[in-house]
Amino acid sequence: MENLCIHTITTKPWNLEEAVVKFSEAGVKGISVWEDSTLKLGAEKSGRLIREHGLEIVSYVRGGFFPSINAAKREQAIEKNKKMMEDATALGAPSLVLVCGAEPMQSLENSRMQIQAGIEALLPLAEELNVKLSIEPLHPMYADTRSAINTLKQANDIAEAINSPYVGVAVDVYHLWWDDNLENEIKRCGENGNLFAFHICDWSVPTVDMLNDRGLMGEGCIPLSNIKKWVENAGFTGYHEVEIFSNKFWQMDQDIFLKKIIEAYKEYQIQ
Ligand code: ZN
């Protein structure tokens, strides 16, 4: 349980106060905080509440969305990310996860160049605030609008090109499990000091919704024990973050769902 972190969106029906109390009672150690869950209390109070319940804030989620064919919109995205980095600092989160974005009106290569430029524009503030930026590659089914970074290789390439201790990668099994280069790219990510975060869930079979049908660990077809081993062999010792978007689980009694998460996590841990 030492490395168990849960994203607030995983138990979306709970507000932050409820989630913090329930996670803490259940022995969860880490929490990754989505922006929407902080809106009621504000970032600073949210951070205090979380720490008072003995939880460690792992990441603030999620910035990014850099590409656009419109230069003014690209500038707005950078400003929005700066605001989120300031919120991360007020919250007490050491890192901001980036869902990098994609613009269907231009090539993926152009979008990737704009993503790199966008992240580079954030570097001075990242250093000033000591907030790390984690590039999260997304499954190619989201390459139209959510992310032009779809493999760990592409994320590694950008992180290495930027070459800053403040820029790394969030590896999410849901997005990357299918990639036959995954083991090597995880190794590469670790060797370069870029393996910042690790997100877990499972791929439901059949998947009935492209966004909100993620499974609990062990329920689907992701080779979780292999990927976990690769990540650990790459030197990763951080939290294993349970990030599940699921209409099915959000309809369930969240106390029962949290029990299921913990059971699934314990099974996953011994594999
Ligand atoms: Zn993720």
- Percent of the chain exceeding pLDDT 70 equals 100
Residues 170, 198 contacting (CB under 8 angstroms): yes
Residues 57, 91 contacting (CB under 8 angstroms): yes
DSSP assignments along 203-216, one per residue: E-SS---SSSBEEP
* Helix (H/G/I), strand (E/B), else coil: 7: strand
Above 90 in pLDDT, residue 271? no
Ligand 1 centroid distance, CA of 131 (Å): 18
The mean pLDDT of 15-35, rounded to a whole number, is: 98
Of the candidates 199, 214, 212, 203, the residue with the CA atom closest to the CA atom of residue 98: 199
Ligand 1 centroid distance, CA of 241 (Å): 8
pLDDT in tens, 48-95: 999 999 999 999 999 999 999 999 999 999 999 999 999 999 999 999
Q: Round to whole Å and give the CA distance between 211 and 244.
A: 10
All residues with CB under 5 Å from ion ligand 1: 172, 199, 243
Architecture of domain 4-270: Alpha-Beta Barrel (3.20)
The token pair that represents 106 in the structure block: 């231009």
Ligand 1 centroid distance, CA of 118 (Å): 20
Ligand 1 centroid distance, CA of 256 (Å): 23
Above 90 in pLDDT, residue 210? yes
Q: Round to whole Å and give the CA distance between 201 and 165.
A: 27
